[in-house]
Amino acid sequence: MALSVGIVGLPNVGKSTVFNALTAGKAEAANYPFCTIDPNVGVVPVPDERLKRIEAKIPTQKVIPAIVEIVDIAGLVKGASQGEGLGNKFLANIRETNAILMMVRCFDDPNVIHVSGSVDPMRDIDIIDLELALSDVETAEKRLKKAQGAAKTGSKEGKAELVIVEKVFNHLQAGKPARSLALADDEKKLVHTMGLMTVKPVLYCCNVGEGDLPEGNAWSNTVRERAAKEGAGVVILCGKVEAELAELAEGDRAELLASYGLKEPALASLARECYRLLGLQSYFTAGEKEIRAWTVRKGALAPEAAGVIHSDFERGFIRAQVYGVADLEQFGSEAAIKAAGKMRVEGKEYVVHDGDIMHFLHNE
């Protein structure tokens, strides 16, 4: 499964600069609104040191990490839900992503104009939340009319749905995102079928100045507090530093990272937070031709994991051979793992764990 994350934010918050850095692009964001007219899509690898550990024991032709699809979406402005700026085009692009990566400006720079005239992360987040919520009102209204029609027929399910949809509709009309509405598990399932943007999980990316790494500043602290209340994720980064890192060869990055008190580029933190927000994990396949990381949801059973590779594998699933990276390092090879009786054979009810190395047996 491909994980798609949309970077959203007001103009001139450093959104496109960070996108270019994450995808190793060289272009700099222009200093004016709507600098990204069409969404740029970049496929970036998810850093995972376990791939190198597997390769050390299983020589292979190529190593393929899991990927995150990052979509750089045109800068939003106040009034987007009514068609201001790029309006509907912007909103349609967000609908296609799994999560929203909200870039928030937490730096002051007189040379980079803020569209609202001053730096205020809470105001910026409120503008984005409001515009997305107001756009969702239209979507929810269509579902509401459908639910009202079903309820009039006397359908028990229709009446139950109407209660939930009305609750969501009223919440959105108040300018509040759907994810902030307290709902029971069965209500959440229904709401997730409504195609709302504001139900998507959010990762706040605080773009700070170079001198505020690695912990951030007073502005990013306010974002952290808000995220904690919402159950959202937070990553502190500096677009300028990420752009510098993108220009360097991998072997030369450690020194620059260390000079800012960083252990890794922002991509690693972003990927981990996105996985956490969406409840995802990685498992591996390993052989002479390739070692590969696959993305699967936490709690997935073995047939579902097999289906990530190919739908035929899920339909024809028989069993899986499973071992861990630690087993490979302890015994040195798959053959030795089997000889030691540590290669597990798991059936259809096996719950896949993060870091499992798996081989699937299936009917053609």
pLDDT tens-digit series, residues 288-328? 999 999 999 999 999 999 999 999 999 999 999 999 999 99
Q: Would the CA dihedral through 200, 106, 212, 217 be positive or negative?
A: negative
Mean pLDDT, residues 218-243: 95
| C-alpha to C-alpha distances, 49 to 205, 237, 295, 359, nearest whole angstrom | 24, 21, 15, 21
- pLDDT category at 28 given cuts 50, 70, 90 is very low
**Between 87 and 68, where is the model more confident?**
68
Q: What are the percentages of helix, strand and coil residues in the chain, rounded to 5?
A: 45, 20, 35
| C-alpha to C-alpha distances, 225 to 140, 168, 218, 221, nearest whole angstrom | 29, 25, 11, 6
Q: Would the CA dihedral through 11, 12, 14, 16 be positive or negative?
A: positive
Is the pLDDT at 14 greater than 90, yes or no?
no
What's the pLDDT score for residue 75? 64
Is the pLDDT at 111 greater than 60, yes or no?
yes
Is the pLDDT at 270 greater than 90, yes or no?
no
Q: In the chain, what is the greatest distance between 2 CA atoms, to the nearest angstrom?
A: 69
Question: Hey, what's the torsion of the CAs at 222, 223, 224, 230, to 10 degrees?
Answer: 120
Q: With contact defined as beta carbons under 8 Å apart, do 193 and 223 qualify? A: no
Mean pLDDT, residues 63-73: 87
Angle between the 15-22 and 239-247 helix axes, to the nearest 10 degrees? 30
Domains of the chain, CATH where assigned: 3-49+63-119+200-277 (3.40.50.300), 133-191 (1.10.150.300), 299-362 (3.10.20.30)
What's the pLDDT score for residue 33? 35
What are the backbone angles phi and psi of residue 281, rounded to the nearest 5°? -155, 170
**Percentage above 70 pLDDT, the chain:** 90
- How far is 179 from 171, CA to CA, in rounded Å? 10
What's the pLDDT score for residue 34? 34
Mean pLDDT, residues 260-269: 87
Mean pLDDT, residues 127-139: 87
pLDDT tens-digit readout, 135-147: 899 899 999 999 9
Residues across the chain? 364
What's the pLDDT score for residue 268? 81
Is the pLDDT at 245 greater than 60, yes or no?
yes
Q: With contact defined as beta carbons under 8 Å apart, do 73 and 6 qualify? A: yes
pTM for the whole structure: 0.84
- pLDDT category at 85 given cuts 50, 70, 90 is very low
Mean pLDDT, residues 133-162: 90
Amino acid letter, residue 20: N
| Residue 153: both structure tokens together | 């027929």
When the pLDDT of each residue in the chain is averaged and rounded to a whole number, the result is: 87
Is the pLDDT at 77 greater than 70, yes or no?
no
Is the pLDDT at 25 greater than 80, yes or no?
no
Q: With contact defined as beta carbons under 8 Å apart, do 237 and 262 qualify? A: no
**Between 361 and 21, where is the model more confident?**
361
- Burial string for 70-107 (b: 16+ CB within 10 Å, else e) reads bbbbbbbbeebbeeebbbeebbebbeebbbbbbbbbbb
Q: With contact defined as beta carbons under 8 Å apart, do 208 and 238 qualify? A: yes
Q: With contact defined as beta carbons under 8 Å apart, do 333 and 318 qualify? A: no
**Between 191 and 111, where is the model more confident?**
191
User: Which residues are CB-contacts of 346 (< 8 A; sequence separation ≥ 6)?
Assistant: 302, 319, 320, 321, 322
What's the pLDDT score for residue 114? 73
Top mean-pLDDT range of 127-136, 143-152, 276-285, 319-328: 319-328
What's the pLDDT score for residue 31? 36
Is the pLDDT at 81 greater than 80, yes or no?
no
Q: Whose structure tokens read 């800068």?
A: 75
| C-alpha to C-alpha distances, 3 to 223, 323, 347, nearest whole angstrom | 24, 25, 27
Alpha helices in 248-333 (DSSP H): 253-259, 266-278, 302-309, 311-315, 325-331
Mean pLDDT, residues 39-49: 80
**Percentage above 90 pLDDT, the chain:** 59
What's the pLDDT score for residue 274? 87
